Amino acid sequence: MKNRIKVKGSLKTFFLIAIYMGILMVFVSVAIWMLNRDAGLIMAIFTALYLLIMGLLTFRNKPIIMNELISFATEYGQIQKRLLRDLELPYVLLDDTGKILWMNKEFEGLVHKQKGYNKSITSIFSDMVRDKLPNEENEETSFAFSYEERDFTAKCKMVPLKDIAADSETIVAESYSSYLIAMYLFDETALKLALRENDDQSLAVALLYMDNYDEALESVEEVRRSLLTALIDRKINKYIASLDGIAKKIEKDKFLVILRKKSVRQLQENKFEILEDVKTVNIGNDMAVTISIGLGLDGLTYSQNYEFARTAIDLALGRGGDQAVVKQADQITYYGGKSQQIEKNTRVKARVKAHALREIIASKDRVIIMGHRYGDVDSFGASVGIYRIARTLDRKAHIVLNDVTTSVQPMRDMFMSQPDYEEDMIISSDQAMDLAGGGSVLVVVDVNKPSITECPDLLKMCKSIVVLDHHRQGTETIENATLSYVEAYASSACEMVTEILQYISDGIKIKSDEADCLYSGMMIDTNNFMTKTGVRTFEAAAYLRRAGADVTRVRKLFRDDVDEYKAKADAVRQAEVYRGVYAMSKCTAGGEVQSPTIVGAQAANELLNIKGIKASFVFTDYQEMIHISARSIDEVNVQVIMERLGGGGHMNVAACQLEGISIDDAMGKLKALLDKMIEEGEL
């Protein structure tokens, strides 16, 4: 269609007003003619002359007027173009493909290009791909990018050419099909720099605790204890002062630290080197002092930062100490945690927790006990111990158990076959939810992550919750627990429950089968008392032996059948050594093995017997998930590795589960993670 130019709007009305007046005069002439013919004739002659004169004037003057209007529009457009050209804001016009059509002087100076440059905008700003530009009519987009160490925000709008013509005050074009993209660039470098400076000055609160203060002092001569304390205090104060912070001692082994957020970033870049520096203080003490740091920042108020710090220090201590935890509103970051937690010789805490547990159970009518999903021997043994406590206090008790693994099945069958135990001693999740109510207390053993408990819904249904666990705490924890007893130094949950049993009641009697279960949990979790055992572990084992636990009977319970033994041997046989110190293998046990994850864990333990191996990882494909069993002796913290993959556990014993991935891909993912952690100095 050929373009035609015509007037519109108020100007069009101005040109047509003479015609409208002429038509009106015609009607007036007719009306007068009907009243008086002479007057009507005069009026008709006048109207004819008016129409003739106005027609001649319009016909002769319209081209002149239109030319003047076009000239004005052209000059007006040139003025606008000149103003845009000299505008102190980078401005560019693009076509629908992102190709530069026109740019002003400010944009030319910014990108160092001359007038007439007509390549794609992506050739200048690599981040500005076509997908970021508007695609729909009158759409506006905005995005940030960096160029030559400066920060910009680009605002773009798609403008169809037909709209440009339609907005004109004087002319209109009826046929346009293309469009332009107008883009402004706003330099926000100074603004972002000011915001960063303001953010750097914001307050960060930290709590610094000495993990083994009393034990370290006891390992040095009495006359030198004050010197050890002074040297540690001096090192902490000097280090915090170097970060332009303040460290105030609030107790003999606790500090309150105030820092700027800028200093926190420096701490994070240095991986909290103060954790290792404090260990170097040695004046003859047999035990190195370790510290834990809980740091809170990015809270809305100073008090919220302090609450973040308190939560962070609780996490650090719950994970075994000798580490730093940084908590923000939506993120928790861990540093350190390479040392094993020191076992406490005192049982005061166990006695206090036992009395608290007794009061809670005594105030309820029913006790529901559950461990983690795919319960193991430690989980079941600890559940049996809590069951005995509940029955001693004359309370109804139930153990929640859904999937019975091969390791737990012999013990479960042992209780189910005895008439001394109720038929509903062991129940399913559905039965437990029917029994849960206001008069019930839920005791969670051997797990502190709600998502991997036997029945997570029970946590929402029970108001009174008790948590007894020996795993290091992670980001996900059971909230609002009435009583929480999490000790990472303990070898097993069975060890913790055994200690509680000794203080729960003077006349408590443990049956030999129950003692066997508790002893079995300790034996399995310590790999026959070779891993993570301390004085209190053997004291608990001795108590169980006196209560009737039989080592020979326990050993018979956990003998492998032929298929399981072959599967474990095959997993060890096909192991590969990565980077010379990490053993990796696949447990490809088929349907002939009932609990392949148990076999995988046993294979991981066996791989540690190879010389030079620091950590072992066994991958098992079971129930549409990849289960990774991770083990180490003392040099590698496998818990930190597994946490990066969404799992957790202990420093020496950890695991995780991956969904929607093959064994080979999972192994490649772990190798990439190990490479990254080695590169960053975390391993």
Question: Do 206 and 330 belong to one domain?
Answer: yes
Spatial neighbors of 172 by CB under 8 A, at least 6 apart, are 5, 6, 8, 165, 166
CA distance 4 to 294: 76
| Local confidence band at 257 (pLDDT 50, 70, 90 cut-offs) | very high
Residue 1 inside a domain? The answer is: no
Number of domains observed in the structure of the chain: 5
Which range is least confidently modeled, 177-191, 208-222, 262-276? 177-191
Tokens of 473: 């705490």
The neighbour count for residue 8, using CB atoms within 10 Å, is: 13
pLDDT score of 584 more than 90? yes
Residue 112 inside a domain? The answer is: yes
Question: Do 409 and 547 belong to one domain?
Answer: yes
Highest mean pLDDT among 17-21, 219-223, 580-584: 580-584
Highest mean pLDDT among 1-10, 337-346, 646-655: 646-655
| Burial 334-361, CB ≥16 within 10 A → b, else e | bbbbbbbbbbbeeeeebeebbeebbebb
pLDDT at 293: 92
Burial of 564 (0-12, 13-18, 19+ CB in 10 A): buried
Choosing from 172, 195, 218, the residue where a domain stops is: 195
Based on its alpha-carbon atoms, the radius of gyration of the chain, rounded to whole angstroms, reads: 40
| Local confidence band at 672 (pLDDT 50, 70, 90 cut-offs) | very high
Residue 2 inside a domain? The answer is: no
Choosing from 143, 163, 195, the residue where a domain stops is: 195
pLDDT digits (tens, 9 = 90+) for 422-465: 888 888 888 888 888 778 899 999 888 888 888 888 888 888 89
Helical packing angle, 348-362 and 493-504, nearest 10°: 70
Question: Do 287 and 303 belong to one domain?
Answer: yes
CA distance 410 to 7: 97
Residue with tokens 């036997």: 454
Question: Do 366 and 388 belong to one domain?
Answer: yes
Helices marked H in 481-591 — which ranges? 493-504, 512-525, 535-547, 551-557, 562-573
Tell how far CA 177 is from the center of its chain: 48
Question: Looking at per-residue confidence, does 571 or 561 come out higher?
Answer: 571
Question: Do 393 and 533 belong to one domain?
Answer: yes
Tokens of 208: 């610094």
CA distance 81 to 329: 50
Residue 645 inside a domain? The answer is: yes
Q: Which domain holds residue 410?
A: 348-557
pLDDT at 76: 59
Residue 472 inside a domain? The answer is: yes
User: What CATH number is given to the structural domain containing 644?
Assistant: 3.10.310.30
Question: Do 142 and 66 belong to one domain?
Answer: no
Residue 382's φ and ψ, nearest 5 degrees, are -65, -35
Question: Do 363 and 462 belong to one domain?
Answer: yes
| Local confidence band at 173 (pLDDT 50, 70, 90 cut-offs) | very low
Question: Do 578 and 527 belong to one domain?
Answer: no
CA distance 32 to 539: 129
pLDDT score of 619 more than 90? yes
| Local confidence band at 63 (pLDDT 50, 70, 90 cut-offs) | low
User: What CATH number is given to the structural domain containing 379?
Assistant: 3.90.1640.10
pLDDT at 62: 66
Residue 30 inside a domain? The answer is: yes
Sheet bearing 366-370, strands edge to edge:
426-427, 396-400, 366-370, 440-445, 464-469, 483-486
Is the alpha carbon torsion for 31, 34, 39, 40 positive or negative?
Answer: positive
Q: Is residue 526 helix, strand or coil?
A: coil
Q: Residue length, the chain? A: 683
DSSP summary character for residue 450: G
User: What CATH number is given to the structural domain containing 173?
Assistant: 3.30.450
User: What CATH number is given to the structural domain containing 324?
Assistant: 3.30.70.270
pTM: 0.57
Residue 113 inside a domain? The answer is: yes
Cα–Cα distance list, 227 to 217, 220, 517 (Å): 10, 10, 48
pLDDT digits (tens, 9 = 90+) for 389-413: 998 888 899 999 888 877 788 888 8
pLDDT digits (tens, 9 = 90+) for 483-509: 888 887 788 889 999 989 888 877 788
Residue 152, strand partner residues: 145, 187
DSSP summary character for residue 88: S
CA distance 199 to 58: 70
Choosing from 293, 308, 336, the residue where a domain stops is: 336
Q: Of the candidates 147, 142, 150, which has an alpha carbon nearest to the alpha carbon of residue 192?
A: 150
Mean pLDDT (the chain) is 82
Residue 315 inside a domain? The answer is: yes
Question: Do 403 and 548 belong to one domain?
Answer: yes
Sheet bearing 615-622, strands edge to edge:
576-578, 582-587, 615-622, 625-632, 653-659, 648-649
Question: Do 536 and 612 belong to one domain?
Answer: no
Greatest Cα pair distance, the chain, in angstroms, is 142
The predicted model gives 231-249 an average pLDDT of: 91
pLDDT score of 380 more than 70? yes
Question: Do 577 and 631 belong to one domain?
Answer: yes
Question: Do 518 and 622 belong to one domain?
Answer: no
